[in-house]
Structure formats: structure tokens, C-alpha cells
Amino acid sequence: MTSVTLLKDLVTFVTQSLSDYQYRDSQGELKSIQVKDGYLKVREDGDDEDFPYVLIRLGKGKSEYEEANVEVHFFVGVLDKDVDNGYISCLNIIDRIRHDLQATPFVADMYEVRPPFNWEMAEKETYPLWFGMLSCIFTIGNITNAETLVNDL
């Protein structure tokens, strides 16, 4: 159990969680939500081909003797031309991820989800692009735990 495998397993988890969601892209075509770890390619002005997306990145981590905890951020971006309700598309994605994580005590049967869940929307209006972020803590195993398991076999 490492930070990298946590990221990869979260991409799988979130992809499955959002598999029934589709949004319109800049051409008006229905598109599934792109879920990936890390970052998007550098955007040019008017380049909206990556929307909608969820980017999963690690924040701060802390390792103690028995366990390690890592903060995970889910960055959400949606293109929605509805001036009055476009932000709701972004919130719906955040809520779905949060609800599914809360209903699943362990992601990939290895990583414990720890409250609290924090989320926020971008303060600045960027119509027709809407941005939000969800954060929570995951517990991952420490190397001492793995050594203990091997020694107990």
C-alpha cells in the first residue's frame, strides 16, 4: 500500500462512481467524465476539450509508527453554459464522490477513508467553466505494518 497505488485505486473508484454521469462538451456532444491522477495538459485559451474532469492529487501526508495518513484532493471541472445553474453540475459530481466514499469504509479493501470531508467551489466566477474541490484523509499502511505481517507468517 503506497501513495501511488492509492491514487491509481482512487481513479478506478471514482471512474466507477461517475460512470453514469455525462455532460456536454464545448461542441455540445455528451461526454463521460475524465478521471485521472495528477494534472491536465497545459490549456490554450478556448481549449475546453478536457471538460468535464476529476483530477485526483495528494496533499500533505503524515506517517506515525502504526499508520500513515494522506490528504487527497479531488479537483472537479465542468463546462456548463447554464448561467444560473451551471455550478450545480460541479456540485453534483462532488456530492456523488463524497456520498460514495462515505458509503465505502475501505477503497480497494485497503485504504480507510477518514472524515471530515471538506469541499468548496471556486470563489471567482469563470463562466461557462465551473470548478470545485473535495478533500478527505485516507489511511495507508506503514512499512512497519508490512514487516510485522511478513514476520507473523
Kindly report, residue by residue over 52-100, the tens digit of the pLDDT. 999 999 999 998 877 899 999 999 999 988 888 889 999 999 999 999 9
Q: Which residues contact 23 (CB under 8 A, 6 or more apart)?
A: 30, 31, 33, 51, 52, 78, 79, 80, 89
Q: Which residues contact 148 (CB under 8 A, 6 or more apart)?
A: none
From the list 142, 137, 146, the residue with the least C-alpha distance to 70 is: 137
* Dist. CA 134–CA 48, nearest whole Å: 22
The mean pLDDT value for 118-123 works out to 95
pTM for the complete prediction? 0.88
**Kind of pairing between the strands at 53-63 and 34-37:** parallel
CB–CB of 105/113 below 8 Å?
yes
Instruction: Write down the pLDDT at residue 47.
Output: 61
The mean pLDDT value for 132-144 works out to 87
Q: What percent of the chain lies above the pLDDT cut of 70?
A: 88
Partner residues linked to 40 by β-bridges:
none
